[in-house]
Amino acid sequence: MNKSGFYDAWRSDKVNKGYAGHFQSRDEKAHTERRRIVNSVYSIASVLESEDAINSCTRSLCDTLRGFSRNETKVDLALWMQYYAFDILGELIFGSRFGFMEERNDVGNYMKAIHSICIRNTIAGTLPSYLSQFTAPTLALFNSTFREAISTIINLAVASKTAMVKRMGEIEEDKDDRRDMLRKLVELSADRGNVVNFTTSHIHSESHSSFFAGADTTAIALSSILGHLIRKPKAYEKLTAEIDTTFSNGLLSSPVKYNEAIKLPYLRACINEGMRLHPSVGLSMPREVPSYGVTINGYHIPEKSTVGMNPAVVQYDTDWFGTDAEQYNPDRWLGVDGKQMEKAMLHFGYGTRICLGKNIALSEIYKLIPQLLREFHIHLVNPDKVLESRNYWFNKVINEEVYIEERFH
């Protein structure tokens, strides 16, 4: 099925010229063709060519957390996962960080802007088309935060283009040999751009979309995985023991390598369970019923109707995940049903529309979680606090105050 009109609200003709974008495009054929052009850039092999850049960001994060530990400072873990994810995207896409971790704040108010735009687009996309066109003017009229966000989001597009032009200049002058994504997109355009219609405007669209959509979703996953672990001491201790044993046996490096981490079964189980219970997208992924209609589970749904599946509903289905589906239980992934359950995971979407940046996110997750648990003990400031979130498309974890303690001095 094609995507529904919900996604029209997310289009930006200032950035996505000609092609709506991988996320926004409703045309399945166009999406398949455009995605095929860039798939290799987002492969895990391609992402791991920049593994040293991820390591550098991880080291900066750990150094900062070590300082917080020594000063016994409270840390908003969810906020720092955002800083980390945004800076890594800067490294992977543009060849340099945006400076979130160094400045210890929302550089350029980009996080705030993306949050506000998600609210606007979710409302506009959900309303009937004859009403959605009034959403932005109405919000701008009555909401000063949204007015600021509109200005900032324009600045974000300008900033991403400026960073792109700067990096392209460095590549053309052969100032370094970093294999970041922008270099690969530039090479793709130079080699095949005329044949497949992949121009500088397409490079800007790719880099801007990755920045807009890639950081928050990864930060949410990291926050959920860690948030559930620190609330379940037995699982936390079991995972820490697996990490320590693997490290002692010389099978886990420091910094942790992705290809080492993916071999740890309980780590994989905890990552899957954290993403299952709290998917980064907390609304349905709407699709439009085709002209001939469709019958689902015995019910006929007429053409042009909108249907969708919410990851936060599907991933709690007891038929797939057992009678304890609402409970945190990483052990469920260790049995023979683990591979089968992965078929019901919509955290990264599904099928032809699966998240293009999935491998970027997984590389960060599999490298950071064991690194943090190896170096630190993390515990809640308030042990009774439940995981708190706000859901405006991105289901963001918020107010996750923790203390950090060094494990080794």
Residue numbers in the known binding site for heme are: 355
DSSP state of 91: I
- Known binding-site residue numbers: 355
E-only strand ranges, 198-326: 287-288, 294-296, 299-301, 306-307
Please, what's the b/e burial string for 46-81 (b: 16 or more CB within 10 A of its CB; e: otherwise)?
A: bbbbbeebbbbbbebbbebbeebbeeeeebbbbbbb
CA–CA separation, 409 and 399 (whole Å): 29
CA–CA separation, 190 and 43 (whole Å): 20
- Which one-letter amino acid corresponds to residue 321? F
CA–CA separation, 258 and 44 (whole Å): 10
Neighbours of 208 (CB within 10 A): 23
DSSP bridge partners of 300: 295
CA–CA separation, 151 and 165 (whole Å): 21
Residue pair 186/171 in contact by the 8 Å Cβ criterion:
yes
Containing 380, the helix (H) or strand (E) segment is strand 376-380
Question: Residue 97's closest CA among 105, 83, 107, 87?
Answer: 87
94 contact partners, CB below 8 Å, separation of at least 6: 160, 163, 164, 166, 167, 180, 182, 207
Alpha carbons within 13 angstroms on the beta-carbon side of residue 54 total 24
DSSP bridge partners of 379: 403
End-to-end CA distance of the chain: 55
CA–CA separation, 146 and 221 (whole Å): 26
And the tokens for 274?
A: 């954290």
And the tokens for 357?
A: 């940046």
Is residue 377 helix, strand or coil? strand
Q: How far is CA 300 from CA 6, 284, 285, 313, 325, in A?
A: 22, 20, 20, 21, 29
